Structures are given as C-alpha cells and as structure tokens.
Homo-oligomer: A and B are copies of this chain.
Amino acid sequence: MADHLVTIDTASQPVHVPTGTLLNEAARLAGVEIMQPCGGQGRCGRCAVQVIAGNVRRRSALRLSQGDVAAGYALACQTVVEGDVQIVVPPQEKIERRLTTDRTAAEVSVPLGYDPERTQSVRRVWLTLDPPNLNDQTDDWSRIRTALRQKAKVKDVSVTLEQLQQIGAVLREGDWRVTAVYEVEPGHVPNSPARLIDLIPGHQDDPFMGVAIDIGTTTVTVWLVDLETGEVRAQLSEYNGQISRGEDVISRIIYASKNGGLDEMRVMVLETINRLIDTACKRAQLQNNLIYKATIVGNSTMIHLLLGIPSANIRLSPFITTVNNPPSLPAYQVVLDIHPHGTVDCLPGVASYVGADISSGVFSSGMDDTEKLTLFMDVGTNGEIVLGSRDWLVTCACSAGPAFEGAGVVYGMRATVGAIEEVWINARTYEPSFRVIGSVRPRGFCGSGLISLLAELFMTGVVDKGGHLNTQSESPRIREGEHGLEYVVAWGKESYHGRDIAITHVDIDNLLRAKAAIYAGFTVMSDRVGVPLEAVEQVLIGGSFGKYINVEKAVQIGLLPDMEWDRFQFLGNTAVRGAYYALLDREARARIQDIAARMTYIELSVDNTFYEAFNAAMFLPHTDTSRFPNVHQELAERQNVT
C-alpha cells in the first residue's frame, strides 16, 4: 500500500500513513486529538476538518453543507487519505478541558452524629506489641493478628503476599509499635475476616481520608472527605475525558467495542479521576496514599468502562450488563491513585440504564424513606426516572439522548461561556432577545437555552404544536437554510464566530424526541403501576442538568408534567451525595444496596406501550391537551392578548 504524508497545522510533525487511513487516525498519530462526540459514526459533524491540499475520499458528508464541502471541509471520522494531504483543524473543535464547577466545601453538612467507630468500614488502630524472645517465638503475622484481636476486637484479618513481604521490616522499623489500617467486613460480607490495608511503622496520626466519586457521562465529580470527622475537604469537577470519544453512552460503547477502544476509554476516565484526586490532595495539602477508601457511582456504562469490563451487551437487546453490583476492589487493581490497598467500592446499580448513580441518588433524595408519592428524575443523557415512596419503587430509563446537553443540535454546546441560556421571543415580530453565559457574544445554545427557545417558539406561534416552523410568517428569521427550514436566533454580525446561529427543523425534531422520551417514561411508568401522574406529591430533580432549567419553560414544551411549581425540587448532584453518605456509613451503604435490590426496573422496549406514549408526546406540549391544562390556559390567555 502506498504511504502518504499527512501534514496537520497544529501538529509538530507530519505523519506517514498508508492509503485508506482515516483522518482522525492520522491526526491521532500526529498527536492531535479531534473531538468525536458521536464516537466516530459520522453522525454529529463535530470532527469536521479542512483539507487544504491533497486527495481524500469522503465516505459520508452528513451535516456538512455543499459550501462546507466546497471549502474543503470533511468529517475526520469518515474521510480517508488517498495521497499526501494538508489539514487545518478548526480551533473550536479541539478538545477543551477545564473545571465546570469548583465550589467551596462549606455547603455540605456532615451527617448528624457521625461516629466512625460505629459506622466506618475503614479503621486505624495503634498497636504496641511485645517483642519476640526465645520463650515467645510467635511469627510476626500471628503477633499482629493477636494484637488486632485484643486491641480492636478484630476476630480475623486477611493479608496479601505483598504485605507479608513487608511486615517483618515494618515491625522492626517501628520497634514493635505500628499503625494498622484495615477494612471490616470487606465486600460487605457479614462476619468475614477484616482486610489489612496497611501496616505503618510507629503510631501514625496523619489525616485519614476517603473520596466519593460520581462518574457522569459528561462530568466527573470528586469529594475529598476526612473519614475521622466526616468533613468534606474539597469538591472538584471536570469534564469526563471520554467526551472526546463520544458524548452519550451509546457512542462510548460503540467506541469501546473497537479494537483497543475499551482500554483507551478506561485510561481516559482514570486520567480525569486521578487528576481530580491529585488536585484535591494538593489543595488539602496531603498525600494521595492517605486516602484509604473510595465510593464510586455512575451509570452502568461508566462503571463498566472504569473497570475495563466490555460494555457492548449494554447497548444490544436485551440490554445486559456484566455486573450491576461489582465487588470491592483494591485501588491498585482499579488503578485509582489513592492508597494502593485502599478499598474501591463501586455502589450497586439496577440495570443497564439505571445505574448506581440512581440508587445512590434515590437514597440521598430521601424518597425511599418518605410516605409521599415521589417522582425522582435524573435528566442527564439517559433520563432515568424513579416513582414510588417508602413502600415501593419502580424505575425506567427513557434514552432521551444528548439533545438537551447540546449534542445532535447544529449550534448545540455545553453550558459554558458563550452559550445562550435563556431566550425570549416577541410574539408579534418573532424577534428574539437572549442571555448568554458570561455576557459575551453567543456561540450556540446550551440545554436550558434550547428548552427556553423551544418553549418561546411554541408559546409565540413560531412553531406549531407539531414543531413545524411557521412558513407563513414574513419574519426574515424563518428561512430555508443549508439543512432546510430554520429560525435564526443571532445574526452573524452579533455572534462570536460571525455565522448566523439558528435552530433547524431537524434540531427541533431532535429536541421533541428527547422531551417526548422522558414524558413517555413518566406516563408508561405511572400506567404500569396504576398511579396517575397527578397523584405525585413531589418531583425531585437530580443531576447538574436539573440545576439550571426553568420549570415553567420545561412544562411548556411538555418535558416536565404540568403541576404546581412548588412540587418541584432541585437537589443538585444527588449521585455524589449518596456516594458520600455510603463512604461514611455502612448502614447508608446497606440502604443503597437495598434500594438497588428493591427497585423494580421497567424495560420500556418490551412492548409497544412506550412507543405509543412517545408518539403521543411528540407534540407541544402533548397530543392529550388535558395533561397540560395550565399551559393551554396560558396559551389561550396569550392569544386573547394578541
């Protein structure tokens, strides 16, 4: 095969590749990371690069306009090299990585009456041993076991080979005074032998730490916790490094199923987590190896990828995980950058699309302990919903897709500087005004901006209840664009990049699908258990998505059920909070396990019910107007005014 030279503007060196090499592969060889939110399926159009010289062959040019193609644009994941090539990578497409939140620790209060002696599974004890002599030739390890039994009531304790290789020296270095760190009932097996984590020479009283970790598809959050006081010492978040290989779990699974993809995914999320842990430790001025325990939550795909477990069967019907309740593992096996023998406890999930983040979120929301009929939702990429109370819990996942996270929408973006987060439209002129994060020139729409925009488009008649743009209007903002009909929110002259920022009819369709999936989830679940949605006494919304959305607008598009706003409560990151409680308290851990076991999972694809409910919800706000009385009243009032 012929060998070609690929030159990339941002690469330090050109690379040689054979005919047929994908541009993204060539870029990777050259050390340039090109974003592939859809996992290299040619669906999202985000990996477009400009070929300024040379021969390439485009297998697909989806999402590229004819003008784009004429200007040399090509999808890096769908275009192969057929000669020497020169490429320019548009700067906005390069991977950005920065902290999305960085709050102070003050806002988390330690659970009342936290008593590590009673509730903590990881413990530290000072031992002073009698040195051996010719009348007492007890072996070193038995001497330690005896001391642990006498001093700490530890009936038995297990040890690794690596530890055995060191304890002789540790005992003598500490002159028979040592500090033992151990885990009681490892793996939560009652009456099982404790597990030695470390044996340290002398009586050591350094900080005794743990971490609670939430691996979101989009954002990874780490809380650094003092296990003696329960106090949160640092809270950090960062985008999940896997984003560059797919924005939703499906894209990640597809990527991970490729040769080497699983390892790559695993390394990427570990890099993110370990960097957060490092930063947290630096901020608290302590060493990573003082962290003896980690509790981890995430959706089932995130946990599989973290542990290097193949995830392909999560995506394929009948949607099976390898493990919902992974065993506790020593940190060195997970490659988590804490004490190598520290415990890594991935909390239990329920099913392929209802993971540990949900069981943990349900626990921290308190819904498993209330008599009120509660609807809990974590609207991230998956859209998991839980209905129930103290007595019963049902759950489902409605694969909303990442539209509300800005993916699958031409000008979609994450909730960062430059994102339009709120839109208002004049019902008569169809002229919009908007608010941009950071008050800069707009670059696109974030999730709350899209909800707001869709609600305004509908409430002002720019689109009808089917989501169709009003072509009868004389507004210049409704026009035929590259991708068909669109509505322009910001003209090129006012935008960051000089291009018109519009929402297309395809974008609107994607948003309708996302909101319809979630609402269909509500209705199918309430039908299945025979409890009408109106009976719901409170709606608890977890996840960072929930923190920013405008309930009124979300109800107007039919994403949230139409009920009094005071029944809605935004809880923030319920997942990491649950992991934090489990980190501190074995009973909390047991309750999360119990919740995971108790939750009845409803598989929506088992029959046509969901499909029918989904189709019924593909209207604004819904085919069944009686479900949204307040929205219809508002619409009627507005029409009267107009």
Q: Which residues of A contact B (CB under 8 A)?
A: 132-142, 156, 158-159, 161, 164-165, 167-169, 172, 187, 189, 192-193, 307-310, 312-313, 317-327, 329, 333-334, 351-352, 601, 603, 605-606
Known: A167-B322, A308-B165. A605 touches B134 (CB 8 A): yes
Question: Which listed residue (B132, B136, B307, B318) contacts A161, Cβ 8 A?
Answer: B307
Residues of B within 8 Å of A318, CB to CB, are 132-134, 136-137
Residues of B within 8 Å of A606, CB to CB, are 134-135
Decide: B142 and A309 in contact? CB cutoff 8 A.
Answer: no
Given contacts A135-B603, A141-B322, 5 further A-B contacts (CB under 8 A): A137-B319, A137-B320, A168-B313, A168-B322, A169-B310
Decide: A158 and B327 in contact? CB cutoff 8 A.
Answer: yes
Residues of B within 8 Å of A307, CB to CB, are 161, 164-165
Chain B residue nearest to A311 in the complex (CB) = B168
CB pairs A–B below 8 angstroms (11 shown): A134-B317, A134-B319, A139-B320, A139-B322, A140-B313, A140-B322, A161-B334, A164-B307, A167-B322, A168-B320, A172-B313
Q: How far is the CA of A310 from the CA of B163 in the complex (A)?
A: 12
Q: How far is the CA of A595 from the CA of B156 in the complex (A)?
A: 21
Decide: B325 and A142 in contact? CB cutoff 8 A.
Answer: yes
Residues of B within 8 Å of A320, CB to CB, are 132, 137-140, 168
Min CB distance A140 to B, Å, is 5
Decide: A323 and B132 in contact? CB cutoff 8 A.
Answer: no
Decide: B323 and A164 in contact? CB cutoff 8 A.
Answer: yes
Q: How far is the CA of A192 from the CA of B321 in the complex (A)?
A: 26
Residues of B within 8 Å of A319, CB to CB, are 134, 137
Decide: B137 and A351 in contact? CB cutoff 8 A.
Answer: yes
Secondary structure of the A contact surface, majority rule: loop
Min CB distance A185 to B, Å, is 12
Decide: A323 and B134 in contact? CB cutoff 8 A.
Answer: no
Decide: A329 and B161 in contact? CB cutoff 8 A.
Answer: yes
Counted per complex, copies of this chain come to 2
Instruction: Report, nearest first, the 9 A-B pairs whose CB atoms are least far apart.
Output: A141-B323, A139-B321, A134-B606, A168-B322, A139-B324, A134-B318, A140-B322, A132-B320, A133-B318
Min CB distance A314 to B, Å, is 10
Q: How far is the CA of A328 from the CA of B602 in the complex (A)?
A: 43
Min CB distance A388 to B, Å, is 19
Residues of B within 8 Å of A324, CB to CB, are 139, 141-142
Decide: B161 and A308 in contact? CB cutoff 8 A.
Answer: yes
Question: Which listed residue (B137, B164, B321, B329) contacts A601, Cβ 8 A?
Answer: B137
Residues of B within 8 Å of A313, CB to CB, are 140, 168, 172
Q: How far is the CA of A127 from the CA of B61 in the complex (A)?
A: 49
Min CB distance A35 to B, Å, is 28
Min CB distance A177 to B, Å, is 17
Decide: B135 and A327 in contact? CB cutoff 8 A.
Answer: no
Q: How far is the CA of A164 from the CA of B317 in the complex (A)?
A: 20
Min CB distance A262 to B, Å, is 9
Min CB distance A592 to B, Å, is 17
Decide: A134 and B164 in contact? CB cutoff 8 A.
Answer: no
Min CB distance A305 to B, Å, is 11
Decide: B142 and A603 in contact? CB cutoff 8 A.
Answer: no
Residues of B within 8 Å of A187, CB to CB, are 158, 193
Q: How far is the CA of A134 from the CA of B633 in the complex (A)?
A: 41
Residues of B within 8 Å of A308, CB to CB, are 161, 165
Q: How far is the CA of A325 from the CA of B156 in the complex (A)?
A: 13
Residues of B within 8 Å of A159, CB to CB, are 327
- The winner among A139, A168, A312 for most chain B CB atoms within 10 A is A139
Chain B residue nearest to A192 in the complex (CB) = B192
Min CB distance A522 to B, Å, is 21
Q: How far is the CA of A310 from the CA of B319 in the complex (A)?
A: 50
Min CB distance A379 to B, Å, is 22
Chain B residue nearest to A189 in the complex (CB) = B193
Chain B residue nearest to A326 in the complex (CB) = B164
Known: A132-B318, A132-B320. A333 touches B161 (CB 8 A): yes
Residues of B within 8 Å of A142, CB to CB, are 323-325
Min CB distance A298 to B, Å, is 15
Chain B residue nearest to A262 in the complex (CB) = B165
Min CB distance A601 to B, Å, is 7
Q: How far is the CA of A199 from the CA of B134 in the complex (A)?
A: 49
Q: How far is the CA of A309 from the CA of B166 in the complex (A)?
A: 7
